Amino acid sequence: MQQKLRNSNENENLLLAAISYLLTAIFRGGNDKKQLIFWNAFWNGSGNEVGTPMRYSGDKFTANQ
């Protein structure tokens, strides 16, 4: 029982670490804007160029033209 509890705690810590790493990667800063590098691989930002990163500016996400 003790062993089982310890394992689930370690798994939970790993999960939290993975989530915080992902959030850090998603919102890793540009200069004054936060660039969503996460979407780079999936999102066609400008409508015609594949892999155009999105930019976060205050209250909304905009394609980086």
Answer left, alpha or beta for residue 26, where phi above 0 means left and psi between -120 and 50 means alpha. alpha
Spatial neighbors of 64 by CB under 8 A, at least 6 apart, are: 35, 45, 46, 52, 53, 54, 55
| Choice between 27 and 48, residue whose per-residue pLDDT is larger | 27
| Choice between 60 and 18, residue whose per-residue pLDDT is larger | 18
Q: pTM (2 decimals)?
A: 0.34
Task: Map out the domains of the chain as residue ranges.
Answer: 2-63
Q: What is the average pLDDT across 28-54? A: 50
Q: What is the average pLDDT across 36-65? A: 52
Q: How confident is the model at residue 10 (pLDDT cuts 50, 70, 90)?
A: confident
pLDDT of residue 56: 54
pLDDT of residue 47: 47
